[in-house]
Amino acid sequence: MALADYIENKPVIETERLIIREMVPDDVPNLRQWMGDEQIYEYWGKGPSKAEKDPELLFEKPKRLTKSFHLGIAEKKTNRVIGDIWVYLIENDRMASVALRLARSAQGKGYGTESLSAMTGFCFEKTELQRLWAEVDVRNTASWRMLEKCGYQREGMIRQGKMVNTWCDYYIYGILADDVREG
């Protein structure tokens, strides 16, 4: 199945401690606790948007067709959404970019590695994607360490380039379906 098909029919991806699933209006009280936290946006070159400061707005917009695959990351024990993950910039169902963020209270517990690893596995096992990649500010050690732990390879460094909304030195990381198949 192409990833685009899952944008309409969102899957539920389970890991040992997490459930990666569609976010629903009942999640708003939890989202409100962390989505507006400036710390999460340190390397994004912009602060939280209006909807990220007031997550109710995320569910008010009429559902329109989007090209990005966006899911919440919930703790299995509590069903509380403690982060979210995107697969976006999908090119010909073959290549896409990946990004995630976690509430400050959920960072440093291995949840980033656990969710990225599960999402990477899902993309290569259940969709036609052959390559996933990410850009990461060289100073964002937690992020590039997480990518490496999930098998992504550092493919290069861009000096003073534009990344999301900021200018910085950043790494490009990538992983291929073949890398996973070949172990």
Ligand X SMILES: CC(C)(COP(=O)(O)OP(=O)(O)OC[C@H]1O[C@@H](n2cnc3c(N)ncnc32)[C@H](O)[C@@H]1OP(=O)(O)O)[C@@H](O)C(=O)NCCC(=O)NCCS
Binding site for ligand X (CB under 6 A): 40, 43, 99-102, 107-113, 134, 140-143, 145-146, 149
Q: Which residue is nearest to ligand X (CB)?
A: 112
Cβ of residue 132: shortest distance to ligand X, in angstroms?
12
Cβ of residue 84: shortest distance to ligand X, in angstroms?
10
Identity of the residue, 40 or 176, whose beta carbon is nearer to ligand X in the bound complex: 40
Identity of the residue, 100 or 176, whose beta carbon is nearer to ligand X in the bound complex: 100
Amino acid (1-letter code) at residue 181: R
Write 12-16 long-range contacts (CB < 8 A, 24+): 13/71, 13/118, 13/119, 13/122, 14/76, 14/118, 15/114, 15/115, 15/117, 15/118, 16/76, 16/114
Cβ of residue 148: shortest distance to ligand X, in angstroms?
8
Q: Which residues pair with residue 158 across a beta bridge?
A: 170
Identity of the residue, 41 or 128, whose beta carbon is nearer to ligand X in the bound complex: 41
**CA 83 – CA 121 distance, rounded (Å):** 18
